[in-house]
Homo-oligomer: A and B are copies of this chain.
Amino acid sequence: MRKQITMRDIARITGVSPKTVSRVVNNQGEISEVTRKRVQEAIETLGYSPNITARSLVQGRSNTIAVVAWGIEYYGPSRVVVGIERQADEYGYSLLLTLLRAKETDQKIRDTLKDLAARRVDGIVFAIPEFNDNRSWINEEVLNRLPPIVFLNMESRSGINIVSVDNKAGARLAVTHLLEQGRKKIATICGPLRWWEARQRLAGWKEVLDQAGFFTSGDVIAEGDWSAESGERAMRQLLESAPNIDAVFAANDQMALGALGVLHQRGIDVPDDIAVVGFDNVPDSAYFYPPLSTVDQPLLELGKVGVQKLNQMIATVRHDDDGMEKSTTLLMPKMIVRQSSYIDNLKKNSL
């Protein structure tokens, strides 16, 4: 990586014009085999590498999209980023990764986005979970100054493009499954309720139980913070406030894991005494003790569909079809039944 070799250098050496070198590099236009060969050889031997920055400048597009994400050290967010990267790669985009902390101010978020706009990324995937009022900065004026942007996992809303997993439906799956297993008193360890996803999962739980005519009073709800430790706390609280429960729906697998630990300590059998269902289907959940029933989210797909939608927006903007309809796409989770909630008929009969 000494002095940069430019197109001009290649042109001078091979005795052609820079534009011809450009044509060879980009495989465009008709070129005689002779010159093409000669140019290509010069490129090889000199180790010429086209300066993509310059190309971006003149073409007005960077072939780069940015993802603004949070918490990629956790399973869910990192899966989503993987999906985003794969689809971006497929489309030929490079991926700029920007990580935010959980509690960023509005100002910080806007500065980050402004910076991405300055870097002239072609589009942005906003993959920060919705909580508190961290969507309050969204308005037409701000969006107009930004490249095309698609939001992941947030409440449906007009004027912007969104792709979300249907968390409420996922919770419904879990609780319905528990009802089908004959459970009657189903408590929940919900996530932090300042998170939209946590509220959705709680709402799904409530919806099914309300319809079935079961209680959903406060004593069968314990709020955690997604961590296993908070799951322990919540489980202890539930055993106190509602000792006669026969099932727990935890809003994520970590909290379910914490709950399992408490149940072991107390000698409460899972699933015979209390069934447990989680949410997320983290890989380890199949090896928890006992293997955890859970709700699988299509996280890879969430990322992919997000980029697909973004790519459409980018294409639309380019063609000046100022009219791409903004919409929300919902992705469906599915139920994974394992031993923490399932008693097979053989055993059931003998109980």
Contacts and interface: CB of A to CB of B under 8 A. Distances in A.
Nearest to A51: B120
Contacts of A81: 72, 97
29 contacts: A1-B117, A1-B145, A1-B147, A1-B317, A2-B144, A4-B60, A49-B117, A49-B145, A53-B57, A53-B119, A57-B57, A67-B97, A72-B72, A72-B78, A78-B78, A81-B97, A85-B97, A85-B98, A89-B98, A95-B98, A228-B286, A228-B287, A229-B286, A231-B287, A254-B283, A254-B284, A261-B287, A282-B284, A288-B289
* Most interface-central of A60, A78, A258, A282 (chain B CB within 10 A): A78
Contact of A257 (B72, B117, B287): B287
A203 B229 CA distance: 35
A144 B49 CA distance: 12
A72 B303 CA distance: 14
Interface of A: 1-2, 4, 47, 49-54, 56-57, 60, 62, 64, 67, 72-73, 75, 78-79, 81-82, 85-86, 89, 94-99, 114, 117-120, 144-148, 227-229, 231-232, 254, 257-258, 260-261, 264, 282-284, 286-289, 317
Contacts of A289: 260-261, 264, 288-289
